[in-house]
Structure 1
């Protein structure tokens, strides 16, 4: 039996590569003669560069960039021919925010893009997701040479004094470079469904601060490109999507980008069963998450798709609406304590049990 194993990361415990290996380990215990094809996945968030490196090869270059509050943080640029891939979470992930969320800057992402361009890339793909910033991408623009009558690299709070922005310097630095924003987030920059209202609270923006912070981003949009701020994806990664769009980037779905890069459709057609997974499988998985994307590919290939997850938080009806035949929970099998203490072993145990049902 041929089994395609294509999970996302299990946030906080396992990378996508580690999750795929853990599932394969458990599956082999039960069905050692099955042919397993491992295809770790990502949607543009954490793990984006690692997954593409595993699939495409290329050269990884270590760089040092500014974290959300100015401290130096390590990151990498993946170069494959004339294309460079970078990941915003490496520079501005929530784990790097060590101060007020309202002053967290996206400058480091701009420095990543600049490092890619200075390294000779003619196309730069920026994976968006897992951001701890909410500054509309102002810090990114500042790193690339944009100027203003206020402060662009002090987070959303710095935008309170901004009324004019000159993007000429940034555009000049990127002349001849194609930018791609890899994200599945459809939110605009501001408003009821914007970056601040939707994602601000999980980044540390207080509920009582949302209106004012969103107002700062409104003013920033008015000073740069109000129309672009309303486009789908402008609110991705706290507005880094907006900054990239303002600089002429095209937007491609992160999961679709990775799916194409790893030739997932072709591999699914060769499989008898597709296995995906993530840390928490819930109905939000439909919003561009890996399991929904993998299930769609499996459906087109007329192959069944199942999910292994840390927790399963949907019923059978919702599960099938997401294209998943069955979903299985690590926490239900081994308990929450062991699921977090030994995540790879626990996931392998779950995979072994699931193989009893699904392997021939």
Structure 2
């Protein structure tokens, strides 16, 4: 039997390659003669670079940068032979870099991401693809722009402090982007605009520590900043605040668009890199997965994209998740044949299943991989 393993990460628990490896180990314990194709996936958020590093002929370049509060961290960029650079915003401004008490999108900055972009430019990249997702920032890329040579100023001509809240006082820009004509691409599957009810501040701000007062403040500050970018940054498109994808990663998508870049589907980009379509055409079963299979999963996430592609080919698709809250009917419409939960495997919520799923995910995924082999292998 030929089986395709193509999960997303289990957020806060396992990377996509680790998920795939655990399921593969369990399957091989039962059906070692089957042919397993391992193609971990990502949509631009945390794990984007790890997945691409296995799929592309690229060299890893370590880069010293800073986290959302300016503390030193080390990240990586990938440089391919054809002159493309790949980097992951979460490595410099990810939510996972902060403690719960440190989450405050009014003051966190994307400056560290700008350092990564600059490093890719210095490495000779002619195109830089930035995976967006999992950010702790809500500054519309103001910090990133500052690191690239474009500084937001207040009415007195002083450089603004870092963070989204400070943009309420922005009146002008100083400098020009040091990109050497490099093309920027934002890899994201978020189509939210920068501003408004469905914008970065309203939708994602609360996940990063913003209360309702903070959300209103940040949305107004980003609206002011978008106006200044449109007026003062050459090549910035009009209507920046309403463009699809501008709200990704706290407005980093808008910053990429303002610099003349474009937004592209993260899962589409990764799928092409790992040649997912070719693999789907040759298999008898698809196994995908993610940390939580819920209503958000049905809105264009990795797993539903995989399940839909499998359904279109008449191939069954089994989904493994830490938690499953999507109904059977909704899952079936999306193309999911069966769905299994680590929480339920470990006894359910009332018997400590949540703690076990978070603490022993590899054990659970191996066991589920073995169970699937017994059910599906010929």
TM-score where L is the length of structure 2: 0.91
CA distance in 1, matches of 2:321, 2:124: 40
What secondary structure, in the 3-state scheme, does the structure 2 residue paired with 1:154 have? coil
* Number of aligned positions between the proteins: 357
Deviation at 1:308, TM superposition (A): 0.6
CA distance in 2, matches of 1:42, 1:58: 17
Does residue 354 of the first structure (1) align with residue 372 of the second (2)? yes
CA distance in 2, matches of 1:179, 1:148: 20
Corresponding residue to 1:136 among 134, 140, 153:
140
CA distance in 2, matches of 1:119, 1:326: 46
Structure 1, residues 173-206: CA drift from partner, whole Å, max 9, x if none?
2232111110010100010000000000000011
The residue that corresponds to 2:87 in the other structure is: 86
CA distance in 2, matches of 1:222, 1:254: 27
Contact 1:61 1:78 in 2 (8 A): yes
Contact 1:308 1:351 in 2 (8 A): no
CA distance in 1, matches of 2:206, 2:31: 45
Structure 1, residues 226-248: CA drift from partner, whole Å, max 9, x if none?
51221000000000000001001
CA distance in 2, matches of 1:155, 1:116: 24
Structure 1: segments with no counterpart, 5+ residues: none
What secondary structure, in the 3-state scheme, does the structure 1 residue paired with 2:221 have? helix
The residue that corresponds to 1:255 in the other structure is: 267
Corresponding residue to 1:241 among 246, 249, 253:
253
Structure 2: segments with no counterpart, 5+ residues: 231-237, 347-352
What secondary structure, in the 3-state scheme, does the structure 2 residue paired with 1:205 have? coil
Inter-CA distance 275–152: structure 2 relative to 1 (3 Å threshold): farther
Deviation at 1:13, TM superposition (A): 1.1
The residue that corresponds to 2:356 in the other structure is: 338
CA distance in 2, matches of 1:152, 1:31: 61
Within 5 Å, which residues of 2 pair with 1:280-319?
280-319=292-331
Does residue 125 of the first structure (1) align with residue 129 of the second (2)? yes
The residue that corresponds to 2:188 in the other structure is: 183
What secondary structure, in the 3-state scheme, does the structure 1 residue paired with 2:106 have? helix
Within 5 Å, which residues of 2 pair with 1:209-228?
209-225=214-230, 227-228=239-240
The residue that corresponds to 2:350 in the other structure is: none
CA distance in 2, matches of 1:33, 1:148: 60
What secondary structure, in the 3-state scheme, does the structure 1 residue paired with 2:43 have? coil
TM-score where L is the length of structure 1: 0.96
Contact 1:106 1:153 in 2 (8 A): no
Contact 1:43 1:288 in 2 (8 A): no
The residue that corresponds to 1:25 in the other structure is: 25
The residue that corresponds to 2:106 in the other structure is: 102
Does residue 264 of the first structure (1) align with residue 276 of the second (2)? yes
The residue that corresponds to 1:156 in the other structure is: 164
Contact 1:283 1:318 in 2 (8 A): no
Deviation at 1:306, TM superposition (A): 1.3
Deviation at 1:250, TM superposition (A): 1.5
What secondary structure, in the 3-state scheme, does the structure 1 residue paired with 2:196 have? coil
**Cα RMSD (Å):** 1.4
